[in-house]
Amino acid sequence: MKLSHDVTPRQGLQGTGTAFGTFGELLQGVLPGDGGDFLVTLPVARWSMATFRQDPAADGIAVRPVHKKKALQLAHLIAEEERRPVSGVLTVSSVIPEGKGLASSSADLVATARALAKTLGTPMPPARIERLLARIEPTDGVLYPGIVAFHHRAVRLRAVLGSLPAMTVVGIDEGGAVDTVAYNRIPKSFSTAQGYEYARLLDRLAAAVPRHDLAEVGRVATRSALMNQPLRYKRSLEPMREICREVGGLGVAVGHSGTTLGVLLDSRDPSCTRRAMEAARACAELAGGVAVYRTLSFPGVRAPAADPMLTA
């Protein structure tokens, strides 16, 4: 006789999920026509980890720390979809600074979705995560490995661009914090010509990433940072560009909706450590606190053959 599936929560049953953060974006803007808002991710070795521990005696779901309200909201949405009793404690731990444009909130949410899925034994494919997260806030593309073009407002993958060799990012923080939801409500005043420039920049990245052309990646990142100045002005952008030139960096990446800026360096370069130390000293004089990040590589990720992004 075939036994029915037991879905009763058990004391002590728990699952853990993780997600990486990003150092801002390589590119962020608006595509022409109905292309919409998009960004291109720059994954870094900073993570958020979520653990959900079921407790049938608990009164619903609680989150720790208590300010992780978006993660709690997502846990409730998943519980509603499962249509079964779900109670326990969701614990979110992250080393990604909040409100800086480093995808901290997105990483929390993706890690939470994965933790609930493991605990409840329910499928959590990317399409489901996208659909759930779209009900909460604009979201970065951190649920996908590799460098991806992502429609953050619509919460939808546009394209997988591939993987890049590791880069070192010497970063500064201009201070303060940015509310991503509030920022994304601001109307974008880009012209049609700028929309087509963003499309060309996206095409350049789509060609550069599979070639591992870090110099071209740095040029596109710098151009995107400059084009973003009317929306989220970075007073340190020009000094950071000068530091980049002085140390022979690849370019400057920024948190387009955040407060961070960083000089990109090729980690494969034998002189990378020296260049990073020189950049860090110069950055310290510019902004005080300096943080060094390492970007993530995903050797198994390959970009499928595709038409230019302009017509995708």
pLDDT beyond 90 at 146:
yes
Q: What is the pLDDT of residue 310?
A: 47
Q: What is the pLDDT of residue 57?
A: 86
Map out the domains of the chain with their CATH numbers.
14-133 (3.30.230.10), 162-304 (3.30.70.890)
Q: What is the pLDDT of residue 233?
A: 94
Rounded CA separation 291/283 (Å):
10
DSSP letter assigned to residue 190 = -
Written as six digits, the tokens of 182 are 């509030």
Q: What is the pLDDT of residue 304?
A: 74
pLDDT beyond 50 at 2:
no
Q: What is the pLDDT of residue 191?
A: 87
pLDDT digits (tens, 9 = 90+) for 69-117: 999 999 999 999 998 889 999 999 999 999 999 999 999 999 999 999 9
pLDDT digits (tens, 9 = 90+) for 264-305: 999 999 999 999 999 999 999 998 789 999 999 999 898 775
Which residues share a beta bridge with 48? Answer: 19, 94
Q: In residues, how long is the chain? A: 312
pLDDT digits (tens, 9 = 90+) for 221-253: 999 999 999 999 999 999 999 999 999 999 999
Q: What is the pLDDT of residue 183?
A: 64
Rounded CA separation 229/173 (Å):
16
Q: What is the pLDDT of residue 180?
A: 66
Q: Is the C-alpha dihedral spanning 99, 205, 131, 49 positive or negative?
A: negative
Q: What is the pLDDT of residue 94?
A: 97
Q: What is the pLDDT of residue 6?
A: 37
pLDDT beyond 60 at 10:
no
Q: What is the pLDDT of residue 11?
A: 40
pLDDT digits (tens, 9 = 90+) for 168-224: 999 999 988 776 666 666 666 788 999 999 999 999 999 999 999 999 999 999 999
Q: What is the pLDDT of residue 228?
A: 96
Under a CB-based contact definition with an 8 Å cutoff, are residues 88 and 53 in contact? yes
Rounded CA separation 255/242 (Å):
18
Rounded CA separation 308/37 (Å):
17
Which residues share a beta bridge with 44? Answer: 21, 295
Rounded CA separation 211/40 (Å):
16
pLDDT-derived band at 7 (thresholds 50, 70, 90) equals very low
Q: What is the pTM of this model?
A: 0.91
pLDDT digits (tens, 9 = 90+) for 18-77: 999 999 999 999 999 888 999 999 999 999 999 999 998 899 999 999 999 999 999 999
